[in-house]
Structure 1
Amino acid sequence: MNATLITGASDGIGKAIAFQFAAKKHNLLLVARNEEKLAALCAALQLKYKITAQYIVADLYKPEAPLFIYEETIKRGISINVLINNAGKGSSGEFYQNDLAGELEIIQLNDSCLVALSHYFLKDMIAKKSGTMINIASMIAFIASPYMAVYAGSKHFVKTFTYALAEECRPYHVKVMLFSPGLTTSNFMNTKENNNEWGKAVTSDSNTQTPEQVAVELMTAFEKKKAFWVSGSKNRFFQKISALLPQRFIAKTMGKQKRKQMGLN
C-alpha cells in the first residue's frame, strides 16, 4: 500500500494537512506521541474520506525514532510515496537563559530527525524513481531572529538542506519541496518554551494564518509540483523584501524592536 507519511500529525498544521491529503484520497500514515489523538484522527479520516489511515506512536525527540518508524513501515508493507516532515518545536527568550536541554531538543526534532527520516525514505523513492518529500520550514528560516535564535537557526538549516537535496534528487525524478508557513494559530506558541513575555514580544503584530489555510496552500503547491512555497501573500511579500536586506541589518533592527517592546531599550 502506498501512503503519505506526516509527522507531528495529531494537532495544528500536521492535522490540517492530514485532512487535505485524505480529501485527495491519499492513504495516510500519521506519526506523533499522543496515541489517543492519533487513533481518533485516523478513525475520523477513514470514516469521512473512505481511505486507509494508520498511525505510529513515536517520540521524535529520541534519536532512534526515525529508524523505528522506517522499519515499522516495512513490517506493515507500507510504501511511502509522500513524506511530509512537519514536526517541529521552537523557543523564545534570551538564549543564555533558556534551558539548554530544551534548545538541543529543537535541533534534534527540527533537524536531526528530519535528516534521518529523509535519508531512510529517500533511498526507497530514488530506487523507484518516484516520490515527493515536503520539508516544513518557517518564515523565520529567511531571517536572523534575535530571541528565537536556535529555532531560527534550525529552520535555516531546513531551508538550505532542502534546497540542496532538491537538486541531488532531480536526476532521479524525486520531488523535494520547501514549504514555509508564517505564524499560525496553533499550539506552537502555547508551549512552556514559547508562552512567555519574549514569545509575546517576538510574535506581536505578526500576520497569522489558521492551520487549515496553511494546509490548503500546501496542497495547492504540492499539486502544482512547486519546489518552494511561502504560505500567505503577506508572508511572500515579506520574504522577497527580506531577501534584499543584509541579515545583520535584519537582526539588529528586530533586536532593537523586541527590546523596546520588553522595555529594555
Structure 2
Amino acid sequence: MENKAYKGQIALITGGTSGIGLELARCFAKDGYNIILVARTQEDLETVAQELTAQYGVKAYGIAADLMRQGAAEKLYEEIKLEGLQIDVLVNDAGQGVWGKFTETDLQKELDIIQLNIVATVILTKLFLKDMVARNSGKVLQLASTSSKAPTPLLAVYAGTKAFVYNFTQGLINELKDTNVTMTALLPGPTETDFFNKAGAEHTVVYQEKDLADPADVAKDGYEALQKGESKIVSGMKNKLQITLGNILPDEALAENYRKQMNPSKKDK
C-alpha cells in the first residue's frame, strides 16, 4: 500500500467495488472522506480507488481480502492498525446469498455466507467499535435488508443472516446510547446489483418482473441516515409500506408472499 498519510476522516467500506458499497464510497468521497475499500479482487480495488481519487480528490486505496475465510477480518483490522490509521466510519456492506430449497443447496456455500454476513461483520464491528468507544467518536453502517424483517423461503440462510445483522445492530445501538458513537442499519429491498447473479437467483419473479432499486438511491438513503445518527432506514417507499404491512401480517403470510417473489419466473422459461 502506497502513501497513506491521510488528513481528514477515513471511511472503511467492505464490498466497496460494486453495487451499494461502491455508491456508498462515492457518497463518502463526495463529502471529502478518504476511503479504504475492501474486496476480493485487487484489480477492481485499484480501478475504484483511482476513480474516487480522480473525481473527488480524496485519498483512496484498497485492501484485497476474502472475508469468507476465517481470520481474514482480524488480519484486515491488524493491517489497518499497523498503518496507524483511525477509522472514523465503518461500513459493513459485503454480503452474499444463495438461492434454492435449503435441503438442496450447497452447505459449504451457506457456511461461507454465514462467515461473511455474520462472523466477519461481528469481528469488524467488535474491533473497530472498541476503538470508537475508547475515543468517544465514530459511526457504523450495517447492511441489513428488508429480508431481515420477514422469513424468506428460497433465501432462508441469507434472510436469517440479515435478521441477525438487524437485531445485532439494534442491540448495540442501545449499548451505545451514552456515547457519541452511532450505528445505523440500512434495509434495502431488491436492488440492481450482482447479488441475484451471485446467489443464482437471476431467474426469479422479483428479478425478472419487479422494479429493482437503483443502488445509488439506496446508498444515498443509508448515507444520509448514518450522518443523522438514525438507528435504521428502510430504503424506498414500497419497502417502507412492505415493512409496515409485515408488522401486521402473521409470519406464515409473510413467508408465502416472499415465496411468490422468489419463485422462478415464467418469463425465464
Fold match (TM-score > 0.5): yes
1:160-175 → structure 2 map (5 Å cutoff): 160-175=167-182
Partner of 1:54: 61
Contact map agreement 2:205 2:264 (CA 8 A) in 1: no
**Equivalent residue in structure 2 for 1:133, among 140, 149, 171:** 140
Q: Which residues of structure 2 form unaligned runs of 5+?
A: 1-5
The answer to whether residue 200 in structure 2 is matched with residue 194 in structure 1 is yes
Residues of 2 paired with 1:207 and 1:155: CA distance?
22
**Equivalent residue in structure 2 for 1:81, among 71, 88, 97:** 88
Against the structure 1 CA distance between its residues 255 and 76, is the aligned structure 2 distance closer, same or farther, given a 3 Å change threshold?
Answer: same
Q: Which residues of structure 1 form unaligned runs of 5+?
A: none
Residues of 1 paired with 2:126 and 2:200: CA distance?
30
Against the structure 1 CA distance between its residues 208 and 127, is the aligned structure 2 distance closer, same or farther, given a 3 Å change threshold?
Answer: same
Secondary structure of 2:62's aligned partner: strand
Residues of 1 paired with 2:265 and 2:56: CA distance?
47
Against the structure 1 CA distance between its residues 196 and 82, is the aligned structure 2 distance closer, same or farther, given a 3 Å change threshold?
Answer: closer
1:220-235 → structure 2 map (5 Å cutoff): 220-235=224-239
Residues of 2 paired with 1:254 and 1:160: CA distance?
20
Offset of residue 170 of structure 1:
1.5
Offset of residue 106 of structure 1:
1.2
Secondary structure of 1:170's aligned partner: coil
Offset of residue 202 of structure 1:
5.2
Contact map agreement 2:97 2:113 (CA 8 A) in 1: yes
Residues of 2 paired with 1:217 and 1:233: CA distance?
11
TM-score scaled by structure 2?
A: 0.91
1:199-210 → structure 2 map (5 Å cutoff): 200-201=204-205, 203-210=207-214
Contact map agreement 2:209 2:265 (CA 8 A) in 1: no
Offset of residue 201 of structure 1:
3.4
Residues of 2 paired with 1:256 and 1:212: CA distance?
27
Partner of 2:117: 110
The answer to whether residue 78 in structure 2 is matched with residue 71 in structure 1 is yes
Partner of 1:241: 245
Offset of residue 244 of structure 1:
1.4
Contact map agreement 1:141 1:156 (CA 8 A) in 2: yes
Residues of 2 paired with 1:6 and 1:107: CA distance?
19
Partner of 1:152: 159
RMSD across aligned positions (CA): 1.8
TM-score scaled by structure 1?
A: 0.92
Residues of 1 paired with 2:162 and 2:219: CA distance?
19
Against the structure 1 CA distance between its residues 227 and 53, is the aligned structure 2 distance closer, same or farther, given a 3 Å change threshold?
Answer: same
Say which is worse superposed, 80-89 or 244-253, in terms of deviation: 244-253
The answer to whether residue 127 in structure 2 is matched with residue 123 in structure 1 is no
Read off the aligned partner of 1:58 and give its amino acid letter. Answer: A
Instruction: Give the number of equivalent residue pairs.
Output: 259
Secondary structure of 2:87's aligned partner: strand
Partner of 2:216: 212
Residues of 1 paired with 2:260 and 2:237: CA distance?
26
**Equivalent residue in structure 1 for 2:14, among 7, 13, 16:** 7
Residues of 2 paired with 1:174 and 1:10: CA distance?
26
Partner of 2:3: none
Contact map agreement 1:141 1:153 (CA 8 A) in 2: yes
Residues of 2 paired with 1:179 and 1:65: CA distance?
24
Offset of residue 172 of structure 1:
2.1
Contact map agreement 1:144 1:152 (CA 8 A) in 2: yes
Contact map agreement 1:207 1:234 (CA 8 A) in 2: no
Offset of residue 123 of structure 1:
0.6
- Provide, for residues 158-215 of structure 1, a one-character-per-residue CA deviation record: whole Å limited to 9, x for no partner: 1110000111112222101111111111111112x32464xx1354544421111111
